[in-house]
Amino acid sequence: MSTSDNLILMTNDRITRSLKRMAHEINERNKSDHPFLLFGINQRGLAVAKELGRVLSDIMNDEVKVVPLNLEAEVSVEEQGRERIYEKQHFIVLVDDVIFSGRTMFHALTTTVNRLEPSEIHTAVLIDRGHRKYPVKAEFYGMKLPTKLDEHVAVVVEDGKVQEVQLTYERDVS
């Protein structure tokens, strides 16, 4: 007989420290004068992107645009940003909560490149689980955590803010 257990991998304080480190790394990578544009992938990726954007804005003393990228919707990146005017050249960072197989990030990359003309495009995630099936990598990450295939990593978001990261796993209670 088995039961599910949760383990807290990252508390809010640890998440904040990780996002600060990631923001500094992202800022150092932008060697151009092109403005930053963060795309938050789906709901939890958007929550991470908003917090990362706030930290980047503080570091740079300049506004960093954060835009939702809803891959589950049946509208394109172009339509999602219809009211916004994008310059053709941006330093774009696609942000998600967790990367596992790479499927979602791969879809976000191809969708973004097909619709916009970024000067550079990068990837950032809070948790990198490994196990890629698609040719993408997380350039900026809060934690690398090689997991078993039957484990689940959840980023807990409440009121649009990232609260903690949990690992759910099965354990034998026989």
pLDDT digits over 19-30, tens only? 999 999 999 998
Question: Cα torsion for 60, 162, 134, 6, to the nearest 10°?
Answer: 150
pLDDT of 173 > 70? The answer is no
The whole-number pLDDT of residue 3 equals: 75
Residue 78 structure tokens: 């172009």
Q: Distance (Å, rounded) from C-alpha 14 to C-alpha 82?
A: 36
The residue-averaged pLDDT of 158-167 equals: 95
Task: Give the SS3 label for residue 8.
Answer: strand
User: φ and ψ at 12, to 5 degrees?
Assistant: -60, -40
Assess contact for 98 and 108: CB atoms under 8 A. Answer: no
Q: What is the pLDDT of residues 98-131, one digit of tens each?
A: 999 999 999 999 988 888 878 889 999 999 998 8
Which phi and psi (to 5°) does residue 63 adopt?
-70, 135
Residue with tokens 């039957």: 150
Chain-centroid distance, C-alpha 47: 9
pLDDT at residue 124, rounded to an integer: 98
Mean residue pLDDT of the chain comes to: 88
Tokens read off for 86: 């994008």
d(CA 120, CA 112): 11
CA distance linking residue 54 with residue 23, whole number of Å = 9
pLDDT value at 41 more than 80: yes
Walk across the sheet containing 65-69 and list its strands: 65-69, 36-41, 91-99, 120-128, 140-144
pLDDT score at 131: 87
Q: Which pair of tokens denotes residue 62?
A: 């300049």
Tell me the pLDDT tens digit for each residue of 63-86. 999 999 988 765 555 555 544 545
pLDDT value, residue 88? 62
CATH topology for 13-146 is: Rossmann fold (3.40.50)
Contact between 126 and 144 (Cβ < 8 Å): no
Which pLDDT score is estimated for 83?
Answer: 42
pLDDT at 77: 52
- Percent of the chain beyond pLDDT 70? 87
DSSP H helical ranges for 66-135: 77-80, 103-115
Residue 93 has a pLDDT of 96
> Of 8 and 71, which is predicted with more confidence?
8
Domain boundaries, the chain: 13-146
Residue among 147, 107, 103 at smallest CA distance from 127 = 147
